[in-house]
Structure 1
Amino acid sequence: MTRSASPPLSGEYDYLVIGAGSAGCAVAGRLSDDPTVSVAVLENGGPDDHYLIWTPVGLAKTVVKPGPYNYGYYTEPQPALDGRRSYQPRGRVLGGSSSLNGMVYIRGHRKDYDDWAAQGCTGWSYDDVLPYFRRSENNTRFAGTANPWHGTDGPLYVNDLRSPNPFCQYFLQAAQQAGHTLNDDFNGAEQEGFGYYQVTQHNGERWNAARAYLHRGKTVDGRYNGGRHNLHVLTGTQALRLVFEGRRAVGVVVSRDGVEQTLRARREVIVSGGVFNSPQLLLASGIGPAKHLQEMGIEVRHDLPGVGENLQDHLDIVINTQLDSTDLFGATLRGGLRLLKEIRRYRRQRAGMLTSNFVEAGAFVKSRPELDRPDLNLVFTVALIGNRNMGSRRKLGHGYSGHICVLRPESRGVVRLRSPDMREAPLIDTRLMSAPRDMETLIAGIRIMRDVMNQPAMKDLGGREMKSESFVSEESLRAFVRGHADCLYHPVGTCRMGPPSDPLAVVDNELRVRGVEGLRVVDCSIMPTLIGGNTNAPAMMIGEKAADMIRAAAR
Structure 2
Amino acid sequence: MSSTFDYIVVGAGSGGCAVAARLCEDRSARVLLIEAGGTNRKLEVKAPVAFAKQFHSKLDWDYWTEPEPHLNGRRIFSPRAKMLGGCSSMNAMIYIRGNRLDYDDWAAAGADGWSYTDVLPFFKRAENNDHLHDEFHGSAGPLNVTRITADPVSLALVDAAAQAWKVPHNPDFNGAEQDGVGQFDVTQRNGMRFSTAEAYLRSGRKPNLTIRTRLQVTRVLIRKGAAVGVEVTDSRGRLETITATSEVVLAAGSFNTPALLQHSGIGPAGHLRAMGVEPIVDNPAVGEHLMEHPLVYLTYELAGNHTGLFDAEDTRHLKNWLLHRRGKLASNVAECGAHLRTDPVMAAPNIQALLAPAFFYNHGAMSWDRPAATVGLSYIAPRSRGTVRIRSNDPTRKPAVTYNMLSTQSEMDEMIDAIELARTITTAAPAQGLLGAEITPGAEVRSRDELAAWIRTTAQHTYHPSCSARIGAPGDGVLDTRLRVHGVEGLRVADASAMPTITRGNTNAAAIMIGERCAEFIRADHSYEQISPTTSEATA
Q: Corresponding residue for 1:551?
A: 523
In the alignment, which of 447, 468, 471 is matched to residue 494 of structure 1?
Answer: 468
1:403 aligns with 2:376: yes
In the alignment, which of 165, 175, 180 is matched to residue 193 of structure 1?
Answer: 180
1:396 positional shift = 4.1
Counterpart amino acid of 2:434?
L
In the alignment, which of 25, 33, 42 is matched to residue 33 of structure 1?
Answer: 25
Where 1:359 maps in the other structure, the secondary structure is coil
CA contact (8 A) 2:152 2:308 kept: no
CA contact (8 A) 2:360 2:366 kept: no
1:279 aligns with 2:258: yes
Q: Corresponding residue for 2:315?
A: 340
1:391 and 1:496 map into 2 onto residues whose CA distance is: 32
CA contact (8 A) 2:222 2:228 kept: yes
1:391 positional shift = 8.7
Counterpart amino acid of 2:137?
H
1:100 aligns with 2:80: no
1:471 positional shift = 3.3
Counterpart amino acid of 2:44?
L
User: Mean alpha-carbon deviation: is it higher for 127-136 or for 244-253?
Assistant: 244-253
Gaps of at least 5 residues in structure 1 are 1-8, 217-225
1:207 and 1:91 map into 2 onto residues whose CA distance is: 15
Q: Corresponding residue for 2:192?
A: 205
1:364 aligns with 2:339: yes
User: Mean alpha-carbon deviation: is it higher for 93-102 or for 402-411?
Assistant: 402-411
1:328 positional shift = 2.1
Q: Corresponding residue for 1:455?
A: 428
Residues 49-70 of structure 1: CA deviation (Å, up to 9, x unaligned) = 11211111120311xx321111
2:189 and 2:350 map into 1 onto residues whose CA distance is: 30
User: Mean alpha-carbon deviation: is it higher for 10-19 or for 343-352?
Assistant: 343-352
Q: Corresponding residue for 1:6?
A: none
1:551 positional shift = 0.4
CA contact (8 A) 1:499 1:509 kept: no
1:326 positional shift = 6.6
User: Mean alpha-carbon deviation: is it higher for 117-126 or for 175-184?
Assistant: 175-184
For 1:148-297, list aligned pairs within 5 A.
Answer: 148-161=135-148, 163-178=149-164, 179-216=166-203, 227-258=205-236, 259-297=238-276
Counterpart amino acid of 2:472?
G
Residues 107-158 of structure 1: CA deviation (Å, up to 9, x unaligned) = 000110000000010000000000000000000003xx4x110000100000
For 1:523-542, list aligned pairs within 5 A.
Answer: 523-542=495-514
1:433 and 1:464 map into 2 onto residues whose CA distance is: 28
1:474 positional shift = 2.0
1:376 positional shift = 0.9
1:170 and 1:111 map into 2 onto residues whose CA distance is: 30
Where 2:167 maps in the other structure, the secondary structure is coil
Counterpart amino acid of 1:329?
L
1:174 and 1:227 map into 2 onto residues whose CA distance is: 48
The verdict on how the C-alpha distance between 1:468 and 1:103 changes in structure 2, with shifts beyond 3 A counting, is same
Counterpart amino acid of 2:173?
F
1:49 aligns with 2:38: no
Q: Corresponding residue for 2:124?
A: 134
1:408 positional shift = 1.3
1:470 positional shift = 4.5
Percent identity among equivalent residues? 40
User: Mean alpha-carbon deviation: is it higher for 73-82 or for 534-543?
Assistant: 73-82
Counterpart amino acid of 1:349?
H
TM-score normalised by length of structure 1: 0.92
2:519 and 2:426 map into 1 onto residues whose CA distance is: 45
In the alignment, which of 329, 352, 370 is matched to residue 377 of structure 1?
Answer: 352
CA contact (8 A) 1:74 1:86 kept: yes
1:273 and 1:171 map into 2 onto residues whose CA distance is: 37
In the alignment, which of 6, 21, 39 is matched to residue 14 of structure 1?
Answer: 6
1:513 and 1:296 map into 2 onto residues whose CA distance is: 22
Q: Corresponding residue for 2:533?
A: none
1:460 positional shift = 2.2
| RMSD between aligned residues | 1.5
Residues 31-83 of structure 1: CA deviation (Å, up to 9, x unaligned) = 01111101111000001111211111120311xx3211111100011122122
Q: Corresponding residue for 2:530?
A: none
Q: Corresponding residue for 2:534?
A: none
1:116 aligns with 2:123: no
1:75 aligns with 2:75: no
CA contact (8 A) 2:426 2:435 kept: no
Counterpart amino acid of 2:67?
P
For 1:371-520, list aligned pairs within 5 A.
Answer: 371-387=346-362, 392-393=366-367, 395-466=368-439, 467-499=441-473, 503-520=475-492
2:319 and 2:220 map into 1 onto residues whose CA distance is: 49
2:372 and 2:425 map into 1 onto residues whose CA distance is: 16
1:329 positional shift = 2.8
CA contact (8 A) 1:29 1:213 kept: yes
1:101 and 1:257 map into 2 onto residues whose CA distance is: 26
- The number of residue pairs the alignment matches comes to 523
1:444 positional shift = 1.0
TM-score normalised by length of structure 2: 0.94
Counterpart amino acid of 1:285?
S
Where 1:79 maps in the other structure, the secondary structure is coil
1:352 aligns with 2:335: no
Where 2:377 maps in the other structure, the secondary structure is strand
CA contact (8 A) 2:105 2:115 kept: yes
Where 1:13 maps in the other structure, the secondary structure is strand
Counterpart amino acid of 2:405?
L
